[in-house]
Amino acid sequence: MDYLKAFLPAFIAFILSAVFCKVLIPWLRKLKFGQQVREEGNPEHLKKQGTPTMGGIGFLCAVTVTSVIFAFFVPDIVPVLLLTSGFALTGFIDDYIKVVKKRSEGFKPWQKLLCQIVFTAAFLIFCRKDPDIGTEVIIPFTHGKTADLGWFYIPFGLIAILGTDNGTNFADGLDGLCASVTCVVAALLGFIAMKAGNGSYVVSFAFMGALMGFLIYNAYPAKVFMGDTGSLALGGFVAGTAFVLKAGWFILIFGMIYVIEVLSVILQVGYFKLTHGKRIFKMAPIHHHFELSGYSETRIVALFTSVTALLALATVIALY
In three-state secondary structure terms, 262 is: helix
Angle, alpha carbons 140-251-93 (nearest 5°): 160
Q: Into how many domains does the chain fold?
A: 1
Confidence of residue 107 (pLDDT cuts 50, 70, 90): confident
- For CA atoms 45, 51, 52, 56, give the dihedral sign: negative
Q: How far apart are the first and last CA of the chain?
A: 22
Q: Give me the pLDDT at residue 244, please.
A: 96
Cα(215)–Cα(233) distance, integer angstroms: 16
d(CA 71, CA 64): 10
Which domain covers residue 315, as residue numbers?
Answer: 2-319
Cα–Cα nearest to 251, from 148, 138, 151, 170: 138
For residues 181 and 204, give the distance between their C-alpha atoms in angstroms, rounded to a whole number.
13
Q: How confident is the model at residue 74 (pLDDT cuts 50, 70, 90)?
A: confident
Phi first, then psi, for residue 37 (nearest 5°) are -85, 135
pTM (predicted TM-score): 0.94
- Tell me the per-residue pLDDT of 176-216, one tens digit each, with 9 for 90 and over: 999 999 999 999 999 999 999 999 999 999 999 999 999 99
Q: Rounded distance, CA 292 to CA 46, Å? A: 14
Q: Residue 253 and residue 195: Cα distance in Å, rounded?
A: 19
Q: What is the pLDDT of residues 235-250, one digit of tens each?
A: 999 999 999 999 999 9
pLDDT tens per residue, range 226-282:
999 999 999 999 999 999 999 999 999 999 999 999 999 999 999 999 999 999 999
Instruction: Answer yes or no: are the C-beta atoms of 244 and 72 closer than 8 Å.
Output: no
Per-residue model confidence (pLDDT) at position 109: 84
CA distance 150 to 134: 9
Three-state SS for 93?
Answer: helix
Per DSSP bridges, beta strands 146-148 and 136-138 are antiparallel
CA distances from 26 to 30, 59, 100 (A): 6, 16, 17
Contacts of 178 (CB under 8 A, 6+ apart): 168, 171, 172, 226, 230, 231, 234
Is 56 in contact with 91 (CB distance < 8 Å)? yes
Which parts of the chain fold into alpha helices (H)? 2-30, 56-71, 78-100, 109-129, 153-171, 177-196, 201-218, 227-244, 251-254, 256-274, 286-292, 297-319
Tell me the pLDDT tens digit for each residue of 12-62. 999 999 999 999 999 999 888 776 666 555 556 656 777 999 999 999 999
What is the DSSP annotation of 121-151? HHHHHHHHH-TTTTTEEEPTTSTT-EEE-GG
Q: How far apart are CA 231 and CA 57, in angstroms?
A: 11
Instruction: Map residue 83 onto helix, strand or coil.
Output: helix
| Rounded Cα distance, 187 and 206, in Å | 9
Q: What radius of gyration do the chain's Cα atoms show?
A: 19
Q: Which amino acid is at 83?
A: L
